[in-house]
């Protein structure tokens, strides 16, 4: 699929309407090499740009006391990355993300919503399609015209090694994926967190991704990405083993994100597509 069908267009259009009043949030701290936290202060890595008047809620460490001594005005220092912040949105288009039309629409709509919120916030925006190759979208603010093909037989975990490092330096990076990859997360996170300010993994899952319930008889399970088939008896023991394996997989991602200083946020495709309830993103201070 390259263009959304009518129902998917409605879901994406609803996301864009919600996004009209949203702004992507600038991070409260900067992330150094490999995501190591460098503190809330500006540090020496940011380039001073200009002053502005102090507003309630500003970091008091940004106050310039010398300016106050001369003018009796409370002024805070602003830096170039705060005036021209950067955002890269990376949309996983491997086949597991296209397991159902609703999951596809939720992923597409979420990317569209974040792109609009980034533009509203004054971010320099880039959108990436993560398929067999990582391709930059030429029309990042026209999501209904994107060519999204959720059929790639490989995952971003496999293709990250061949990605030309064109992500914006010291920017915010938002990844939309189910993270259902066989590869370990470290190589992917190393690439994403390098030279970034903040990395957020938005783990989007649908009902089809949940572990199976016990069923009578022999069932054929097909891997959505490589087409591998496996015949299994979905008894209670098998279903429990699948659930435990998925939990170990998710725990591995959680631990790796903590190590690299990335944020991991789990989202439901059904909940998003139903009413675009963005409270989880607000709590995580993404919007």
**Each residue of 23-42: pLDDT tens digit?**
999 865 443 333 333 333 33
Residue 56 in domain:
yes
**Domain containing 152: what range?**
6-26+85-283
Q: Is the pLDDT of residue 3 over 90?
A: no
Q: Is the pLDDT of residue 84 over 80?
A: no
Rounded Cα–Cα distance for residues 8 and 6 (Å): 5
Same domain, 120 and 106: yes
Same domain, 127 and 236: yes
Same domain, 47 and 146: no
Residue 35 in domain:
no
Q: Is the pLDDT of residue 260 over 50?
A: yes
Mean pLDDT, residues 138-144 = 96
Of 14-28, 107-121, 208-222, highest mean pLDDT: 107-121
Mean pLDDT, residues 250-273 = 96
Q: Which two tokens stand for residue 34?
A: 């490999």
How many other β-carbons are positioned within 10 Å of the β-carbon of residue 142? 11
Same domain, 127 and 258: yes
Same domain, 63 and 192: no
Same domain, 57 and 114: no
> Is there a contact between 29 and 40 (Cβ–Cβ < 8 Å)?
yes
pLDDT value of residue 229: 74
Rounded Cα–Cα distance for residues 25 and 17 (Å): 18
Q: Which of 54, 55, 49 is nearest to 75 (CA)?
A: 54
Percent of the chain with pLDDT over 70: 86
Q: Is the pLDDT of residue 175 over 90?
A: yes
Which CATH number covers residue 193?
A: 3.40.50
Per the structure, the count of domains in the chain is: 2
Confidence of residue 54 (pLDDT cuts 50, 70, 90): confident
How many other β-carbons are positioned within 10 Å of the β-carbon of residue 248? 9
Q: Is the pLDDT of residue 160 over 80?
A: yes
Q: Which two tokens stand for residue 9?
A: 């267009």
Q: Is the pLDDT of residue 74 over 70?
A: yes
Q: Which of 252, 217, 222, 208 is nearest to 238 (CA)?
A: 217
Residue 37 in domain:
no
pLDDT value of residue 14: 96
**Comparison of pLDDT for 61 and 254, the residue scoring more:** 254
Same domain, 139 and 169: yes
Rounded Cα–Cα distance for residues 264 and 262 (Å): 7
Same domain, 221 and 260: yes
> Is there a contact between 81 and 198 (Cβ–Cβ < 8 Å)?
no
Rounded Cα–Cα distance for residues 150 and 97 (Å): 6
Residue 36 in domain:
no
Q: Is the pLDDT of residue 219 over 80?
A: no
**Reduced to 3 states, what is the DSSP secondary structure of residue 101?**
helix
Q: What is the pLDDT of residues 86-135, one digit of tens each?
A: 999 999 999 999 999 999 999 999 999 999 999 999 999 999 999 999 99
Q: Which of 125, 191, 121 is nearest to 156 (CA)?
A: 191
Residue 184 in domain:
yes
Same domain, 75 and 91: no
> Is there a contact between 88 and 192 (Cβ–Cβ < 8 Å)?
no
Rounded Cα–Cα distance for residues 192 and 265 (Å): 16
Q: Which two tokens stand for residue 192?
A: 């994403």
Q: Is the pLDDT of residue 274 over 90?
A: yes
């Amino acid at each position: 699929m390259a263009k959304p069908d009518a129902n998917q267009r409605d879901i994406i259009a609803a996301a864009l309407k919600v996004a009209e009043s949203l702004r992507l949030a600038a991070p409260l701290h900067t992330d150094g090499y490999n995501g190591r936290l460098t503190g809330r202060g500006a540090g020496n890595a940011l380039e001073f740009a200009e002053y502005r008047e102090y507003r309630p809620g500003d970091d008091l460490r940004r106050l310039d006391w010398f300016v106050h001594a001369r003018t009796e005005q409370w002024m805070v220092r602003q830096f170039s990355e705060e005036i021209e912040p950067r955002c890269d949105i990376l949309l996983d288009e491997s086949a597991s993300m296209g397991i159902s039309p609703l999951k596809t629409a939720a992923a597409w709509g979420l990317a569209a919503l974040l792109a609009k919120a980034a533009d509203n916030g004054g971010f320099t925006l880039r959108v990436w399609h993560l398929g067999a190759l990582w391709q930059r979208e030429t029309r990042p603010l026209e999501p209904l015209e994107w060519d999204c093909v959720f059929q790639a037989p490989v995952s971003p975990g496999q293709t990250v090694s061949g990605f030309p490092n064109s992500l914006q330096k010291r920017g915010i990076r938002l990844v939309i994926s189910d993270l259902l990859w066989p590869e370990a997360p470290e190589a992917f996170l190393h690439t994403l967190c390098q030279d970034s300010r903040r990395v957020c993994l938005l783990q989007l899952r649908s009902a089809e991704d949940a572990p199976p319930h016990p069923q009578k008889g022999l069932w054929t399970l097909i891997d959505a990405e490589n087409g591998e088939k496996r015949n299994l008896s979905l008894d209670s023991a098998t279903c429990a083993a699948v659930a435990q394996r998925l939990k170990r997989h998710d725990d591995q991602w959680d631990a790796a994100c903590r190590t690299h200083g990335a944020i991991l946020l789990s989202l439901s495709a059904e909940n998003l597509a139903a009413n675009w309830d963005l409270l989880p993103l607000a709590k995580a201070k993404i919007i």
